[in-house]
């Protein structure tokens, strides 16, 4: 017994040294070739949100390859360092720390959920790093270490869609349903402010936990609430169960229209297009956007990721983020976070969705609000779009307007 224990200890110690060796050898720090700029890419390749984030990772790599093919930034090639935060907010913050401290990257392209952004935020703020954040989110954030490139805020998804539902479909009684966390609650807050302004009645505002898949009671509650239109901020796996339950209980999107802020081409593909057919989505980008840039973008991505790949809003935002960052660094003549942030304001990029511009005050993006209607093949027909990009107002839920800004270059003043 004692013998075998000793052997165990020996092998254990050897194994420990073996495992530790690479770290010890690496202590000297990383030396990058002088003609390269390391950039962090941090989207989950495993875990619950991997389905969407995988395509965002591919899109970031594609955009970086495009930039490198044109000679890189300031004559230097971008070198992507890819980390997998595994859909865990805590891992996001660890990986962000690793990227900023150990790899010394001047920028991280990453995050998809608000929870992950909130986990990374303290890291980039304390270490004076930069996060380029892509996803549409609940707003009420005004960090100077985050470039909200391509990321829509509630006013850019709601200011167009709620009045449209009232005017074009003649709907007046809104039921807001969402997953229970910051984004859907923030969306509901802004929705209520807008509804008050246009005279729509909010008859329900309900939440179920993230990942909840038993929607029967909620759906029958929507039915008995007297609502004549649903606005959905349901996220992730739940979307599929929710849409399927609506169908099973005999709802028809022509009679009871549903508009979602979150259901992209990816989720529609996952649930089967016949379940989403006829429902609306409000986002700045759909695969069907008719611009020359988008044709090139869709073709390039299919060539990169395979012919079955779909493009979607979160992915397009990643694409915008990488390009805007490169333009800002080029303009500043420096890749450091402060220089990029100081020069990003006012920059425009011809994105697949059309022209996008970074607002100098709040570092958010002017985007073109669009409403899509789901068709048989799982893509969306665009039924409404703004003639030009709309000003981002991250604090619209608490009364921010174009004349009375809450988030300015100096930070948020509430």
Partner 1 sequence: METFVIGLSIASILFMVALGLAIIYGTMKVINLAHGEMVMIGAYVTVLATKHLGFNLYLCLPLAFLVTAGFGLVIERTVVRRLYGRLLDTLLATWGIALILQQLIRIHFGLGLFGIHIDGLGSDLQNVPVPAELQKTLYFLGANIPVYRAFIFMVALLLGAITWWLIYKTRFGSQLRAVSVARNTAAACGVNDKRVNMLAFAYGSGLAGIAGVLVSGFKTVSPDMGTPYVVDAFLVVVAGGVGHLVGTFISAGILGEVQSFVATWLNDVYGRTVLFAVVILILLFKPQGLFVSRSR
State the Cα–Cα distance between residues 192 and 200, nearest whole angstrom.
9
Q: How far is the CB of 171 from partner 1 (least distance, A)?
A: 21
Q: Which is nearer to partner 1, 214 or 350 (CB)?
A: 214
DSSP string, 37-63: EEEEEE--SSSTTHHHHHHHHHHHHHH
Residue with tokens 């859907």: 184
Beta bridge partners of 372: 281, 382
Asked if 307 interacts with partner 1 (CB under 8 A), we say no
Q: How far is the CB of 84 from partner 1 (least distance, A)?
A: 13
Q: Which is nearer to partner 1, 312 or 323 (CB)?
A: 312
Instruction: With beta carbons less than 8 A apart as the criterion, state whether 148 and 136 touch.
Output: no
Q: How far is the CB of 182 from partner 1 (least distance, A)?
A: 17
State the Cα–Cα distance between residues 255 and 327, nearest whole angstrom.
47
Which of 92, 207, 231, 286 contacts partner 1 by CB under 8 A?
207
Q: Which is nearer to partner 1, 180 or 377 (CB)?
A: 180
Q: Which is nearer to partner 1, 47 or 345 (CB)?
A: 47
Q: Which of 221, 150, 154 is nearest to 188 (CA)?
A: 154
Which structure tokens are listed for 143?
């960090």
State the Cα–Cα distance between residues 35 and 49, nearest whole angstrom.
35
Which of 142, 153, 176, 271 contacts partner 1 by CB under 8 A?
271
Asked if 248 interacts with partner 1 (CB under 8 A), we say yes
Q: How far is the CB of 403 from partner 1 (least distance, A)?
A: 39
Asked if 265 interacts with partner 1 (CB under 8 A), we say no
Asked if 46 interacts with partner 1 (CB under 8 A), we say yes
Q: Which is nearer to partner 1, 222 or 340 (CB)?
A: 222
Report how far apart, in Å, the C-alpha atoms of 183 and of each of 153, 179, 190 are: 10, 8, 11
User: Could you tell me where the DSSP H helices lie in 70-227?
Assistant: 89-97, 114-126, 154-158, 161-169, 182-198, 216-224
Which of 208, 310, 328, 335 contacts partner 1 by CB under 8 A?
208
Q: Binding to partner 1 (CB under 8 A): which residues in 62-121?
A: none
Which of 98, 118, 127, 244 contacts partner 1 by CB under 8 A?
244
State the Cα–Cα distance between residues 297 and 286, nearest whole angstrom.
12
Which of 7, 217, 348, 413 contacts partner 1 by CB under 8 A?
217
Which of 35, 102, 201, 214 contacts partner 1 by CB under 8 A?
214
Asked if 51 interacts with partner 1 (CB under 8 A), we say yes
Q: Binding to partner 1 (CB under 8 A): which residues in 179-198?
A: 180
Asked if 252 interacts with partner 1 (CB under 8 A), we say no
Query: Treating both helix axes as pointing N-terminal to C-terminal, what angle do 313-332 and 50-69 enclose, rounded to 10 degrees?
Result: 40
Asked if 209 interacts with partner 1 (CB under 8 A), we say yes
Q: How far is the CB of 202 from partner 1 (least distance, A)?
A: 16
Asked if 212 interacts with partner 1 (CB under 8 A), we say yes
DSSP string, 291-337: -HHHHHHHHHHHHHH-TT----HHHHHHHHHHHHHHHHHHHHT--SH
Report how far apart, in Å, the C-alpha atoms of 401 and of each of 175, 217, 305 are: 25, 38, 41
Q: Which is nearer to partner 1, 231 or 325 (CB)?
A: 231
Q: How far is the CB of 213 from partner 1 (least distance, A)?
A: 5
Question: Which one of the spans 147-155, 236-244, 279-287, 377-385 is the region binding partner 1 (CB under 8 A)?
Answer: 236-244
Query: Dihedral of CA 349/313/108/406: which sign?
Result: positive
User: Could you tell me where the DSSP H helices lie in 170-291?
Assistant: 182-198, 216-224, 237-248, 265-271, 273-276
Q: Are strands 380-385 and 354-358 parallel, antiparallel or unpaired?
A: unpaired
Asked if 305 interacts with partner 1 (CB under 8 A), we say no
Which structure tokens are listed for 345?
């304001």
Q: Which is nearer to partner 1, 28 or 209 (CB)?
A: 209
Which residues bind to partner 1, rule: CB under 8 A? 46, 50-51, 180, 206-209, 212-214, 216-218, 220-221, 223, 237-238, 240-241, 244-245, 247-250, 270-272, 275
């Amino acid at each position: 017994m004692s013998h075998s224990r000793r052997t165990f200890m020996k092998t254990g110690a050897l194994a420990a040294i073996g495992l530790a060796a690479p770290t010890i050898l690496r202590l000297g720090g990383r030396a990058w070739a002088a003609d390269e700029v390391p950039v962090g890419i941090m989207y989950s390749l495993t875990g619950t949100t991997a389905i969407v984030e995988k395509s965002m990772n591919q899109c970031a790599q594609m955009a970086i390859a495009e930039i490198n093919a044109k000679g890189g930034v300031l004559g230097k090639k971008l070198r992507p360092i890819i980390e997998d935060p595994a859909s865990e907010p805590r891992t996001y913050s660890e990986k962000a720390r690793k990227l900023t401290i150990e790899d010394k990257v001047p920028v991280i392209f990453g995050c998809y959920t608000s929870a992950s952004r909130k986990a990374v935020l303290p890291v980039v703020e304390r270490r004076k790093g930069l996060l380029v954040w892509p996803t549409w989110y609940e707003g009420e954030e005004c960090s100077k270490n985050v470039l909200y490139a391509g990321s829509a805020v509630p006013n850019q998804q709601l200011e167009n869609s709620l009045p449209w539902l009232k005017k074009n479909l003649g709907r007046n009684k809104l039921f807001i349903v969402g997953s229970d966390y910051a984004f859907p609650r923030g969306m509901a807050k802004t929705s209520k402010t807008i509804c008050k302004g246009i005279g729509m009645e909010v008859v329900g505002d309900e939440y179920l936990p993230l990942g909840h898949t038993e929607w029967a009671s909620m759906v029958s509650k929507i039915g008995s609430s007297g609502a004549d239109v649903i606005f959905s901020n349901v996220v992730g796996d739940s979307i599929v169960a929710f849409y399927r339950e609506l169908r099973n209980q005999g709802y028809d999107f022509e009679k009871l229209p549903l508009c979602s802020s979150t259901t992209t081409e990816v989720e529609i593909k996952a649930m089967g297009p016949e379940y989403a057919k006829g429902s609306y989505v409000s986002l700045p980008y759909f695969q069907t956007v008719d611009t020359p840039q988008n044709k090139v973008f869709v073709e390039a991505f299919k060539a990169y990721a395979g012919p079955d790949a779909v493009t979607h809003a979160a992915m397009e935002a990643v694409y915008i983020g990488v390009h805007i960052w490169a333009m800002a660094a080029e303009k500043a003549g420096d890749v450091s976070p402060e220089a990029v942030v100081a020069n990003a304001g006012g920059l425009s990029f011809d994105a697949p969705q059309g022209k996008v511009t970074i607002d100098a005050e709040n570092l958010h993006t002017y985007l073109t609000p669009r409403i899509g209607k789901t068709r048989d093949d799982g893509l969306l027909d665009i039924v409404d779009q703004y003639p030009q990009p709309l000003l981002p107002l991250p604090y619209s839920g608490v009364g921010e307007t174009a004349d009375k800004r809450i988030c300015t270059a100096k930070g948020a003043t509430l």
